């Protein structure tokens, strides 16, 4: 069986990145050992869901423990259990390659009563120049900024060298990138530039809802100018292709939100939907690789998506997408970057300096990010497909 490697960057060593990494990876390895993955993680990929009589979907309960350990109620039954066992078989061939501070990670593992990392199956920690630095907890420092940047640089270099096939990134402080002169606002922009990709797509996903903000970190007044037929077409196509390649969807069902309230209400609340969005989506709906519906009123689109009506919702701006997602999946959602030549997943939270080092951080998001990266790399690069 082919061995795949997933690279994991620790993130800011003064934040919760190391803690959620240690607890999330330990939980995943334990799940693989017993052959039962969390149903909440499988649901993000579209697995582990049961159909209701009305055609909607129900995913099994999400993880409820702080450290991300999978309880019995989070394990699927019947056909879902069989899929879980099959997915675990795939994950047994994955190697986990950590870029971070070994001393800090070992301290976290020891405090939690876990075995030393070198005894974990299929796990290796890559030595870095910052090894053994005294980072402290709960605040950005120059040494911490240099460390988190170096972890990403090493991971990207090894990805290009073919040593890892996908990346999972821990939370960083964006100010660190500015201090170190990286020249990018965040992970997504940096990884896209490194891969030569002009327009990556950010997907946020939880067990019941997947969302894509077409525009991301720009002011609301700039959204209208940024949204063009060509731009939205590329977002939709990249989303569809990414869901097929990395999440295993044969023909994704995509709901596309309107820009204005009530999707313009026939032109009463804005002209963008009537003028160009309806013609564009009507044309794109003819493509066989996706099932496309829209423009939809955003105030109802996410409700129907959460019930299984759409595999993902494409929103027009940042808060239109992220507000409903965080209501449903504040602790367990993950971030996926689509459009790269590899899959990058990440936690959907920040450094959480206020609880760093306290043992209070939830590892659910990291656990899900690890599961999706591991399963997706074995799917996309499997010998059967290539």
Tell me the mean pLDDT in the region 153-178.
94
Instruction: Name residue 94's beta-bridge partners.
Output: 4
Do 140 and 190 lie in one domain? The reply is yes
Query: pLDDT tens, 318-348?
Result: 999 999 999 999 989 999 999 999 999 999 9
E strand or H helix at 167, and its extent?
strand 166-169
Do 30 and 157 lie in one domain? The reply is yes
Query: For residue 23, is it within any domain?
Result: yes
Alpha-carbon distance 211 to 112, whole Å? 34
Burial (Cβ within 10 Å: 0-12, 13-18, ≥19) of residue 123: middle
pLDDT of 60 reads 35
Contact residues for 209 (Cβ-Cβ < 8 A; gap 6+): 302, 305, 306, 313, 324, 325, 328, 329
Alpha-carbon distance 47 to 207, whole Å? 10
Contact 60, 75 (CB under 8 A): yes
Do 222 and 98 lie in one domain? The reply is no
Query: For residue 46, is it within any domain?
Result: yes
Please give, one letter per residue, the 3-state secondary structure of 57-71: EEECCCCCCCCCCCC
What is the crossing angle of helices 79-91 and 364-380, to 10°? 80
Q: Which of 331, 350, 368 is the last residue of a domain?
A: 331
Alpha-carbon distance 171 to 10, whole Å? 8
Do 316 and 375 lie in one domain? The reply is no
E-strand spans in 238-363?
Answer: 253-257, 291-296, 312-315, 334-338, 344-347
Alpha-carbon distance 352 to 370, whole Å? 20
Do 22 and 166 lie in one domain? The reply is yes
Do 305 and 246 lie in one domain? The reply is yes
Query: pLDDT tens, 191-235?
Result: 999 999 998 999 999 999 999 999 988 899 999 999 999 999 999
pLDDT of 70 reads 42
Contact residues for 197 (Cβ-Cβ < 8 A; gap 6+): 339, 340, 341
Number of domains making up the chain: 2
Backbone dihedral angles phi then psi of residue 211, each to the nearest 5 degrees: -135, 150
Query: pLDDT tens, 40-59?
Result: 999 999 875 543 334 444 43
Please state whether beta strands 201-205 and 334-338 pair in parallel, antiparallel, or not at all (unpaired).
antiparallel
Neighbours of 350 (CB within 10 A): 15
Q: How many CA atoms lie within 13 A of 178 on its CB side?
A: 5
Do 81 and 216 lie in one domain? The reply is no
The CATH number linked to 276 is 3.40.718.10
Query: For residue 203, is it within any domain?
Result: no
Please state whether beta strands 94-99 and 57-59 pair in parallel, antiparallel, or not at all (unpaired).
unpaired
Tell me the mean pLDDT in the region 282-298.
94
Query: For residue 25, is it within any domain?
Result: yes
pLDDT of 380 reads 60
Do 75 and 135 lie in one domain? The reply is yes
- What's the token pair of residue 327? 């209501």
Query: pLDDT tens, 242-253?
Result: 999 999 899 999
- What's the token pair of residue 95? 């190697």
The terminus-to-terminus CA distance of the chain in angstroms comes to 14
Bigger pLDDT: 92 vs 21:
21
Tell me the mean pLDDT in the region 175-196.
90
pLDDT of 377 reads 81
Tell me the mean pLDDT in the region 22-28.
97
Contact 204, 312 (CB under 8 A): no
Instruction: Look up the domain containing 243 and give its range.
Output: 208-331
Q: Which of 304, 331, 358 is the last residue of a domain?
A: 331
SS3 call for 64: coil
Do 314 and 352 lie in one domain? The reply is no
Query: For residue 10, is it within any domain?
Result: yes
Contact 284, 183 (CB under 8 A): no
pLDDT of 379 reads 67
Which residue has tokens 């507000």? 323
Bigger pLDDT: 68 vs 272:
272
Contact 383, 6 (CB under 8 A): no
Do 157 and 273 lie in one domain? The reply is no
Query: For residue 337, is it within any domain?
Result: no
Do 376 and 230 lie in one domain? The reply is no
Query: For residue 336, is it within any domain?
Result: no
Query: For residue 382, is it within any domain?
Result: yes
pTM score of the predicted model: 0.89
Do 188 and 221 lie in one domain? The reply is no
């Amino acid at each position: 069986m082919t061995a795949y490697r997933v690279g994991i960057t620790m993130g800011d060593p003064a934040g919760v990145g190391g803690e959620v990494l240690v607890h999330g990876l330990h939980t995943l390895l334990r799940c693989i050992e017993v052959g039962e993955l969390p149903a909440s993680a499988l649901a993000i990929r579209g697995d582990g869901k049961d159909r209701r009589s009305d055609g909607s979907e129900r995913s099994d309960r999400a993880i409820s423990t702080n450290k991300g350990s999978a309880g019995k109620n989070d394990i699927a039954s019947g056909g879902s259990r069989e899929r879980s066992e099959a997915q675990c078989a795939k994950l047994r061939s994955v190697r986990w390659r950590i870029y971070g501070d070994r001393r800090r990670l070992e301290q976290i593992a020891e405090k939690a009563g876990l075995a030393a990392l070198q005894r974990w199956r299929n796990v290796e920690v890559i030595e870095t120049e910052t090894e053994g630095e005294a980072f402290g907890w709960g605040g950005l420092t120059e040494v911490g900024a240099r460390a988190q940047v170096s972890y990403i640089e090493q991971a990207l270099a090894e990805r290009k060298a073919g040593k890892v096939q996908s990346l999972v990134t821990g939370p960083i402080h964006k100010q660190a990138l500015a201090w170190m002169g990286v020249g990018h606002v965040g992970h997504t922009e940096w990884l896209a530039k490194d891969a030569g990709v002009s327009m990556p797509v950010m997907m946020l996903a939880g067990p019941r809802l997947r969302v894509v903000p077409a525009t991301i970190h720009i002011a609301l007044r700039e959204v209208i100018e940024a949204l063009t037929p060509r731009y939205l077409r590329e977002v939709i196509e990249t989303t569809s292709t990414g869901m097929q390649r990395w999440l295993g969807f044969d023909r994704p069902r995509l709901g596309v939100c309107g820009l204005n309230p009530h999707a313009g209400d026939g032109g009463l609340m804005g002209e963008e939907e009537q003028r160009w969005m309806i013609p564009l989506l009507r044309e794109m709906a003819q493509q066989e690789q996706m099932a496309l519906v829209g423009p939809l009123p955003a105030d109802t689109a996410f409700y129907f998506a959460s019930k299984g009506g759409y595999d993902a919702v494409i929103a027009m701006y940042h808060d239109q997408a992220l507000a409903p997602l965080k209501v449903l999946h504040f602790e367990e959602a993950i971030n996926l970057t689509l459009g790269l030549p590899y899959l990058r997943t990440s936690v959907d939270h920040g450094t959480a300096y206020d609880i760093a080092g306290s043992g209070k951080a939830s590892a659910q998001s990291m656990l899900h990010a690890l599961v999706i990266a591991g399963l997706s790399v074995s799917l996309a690069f499997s010998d059967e497909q290539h």
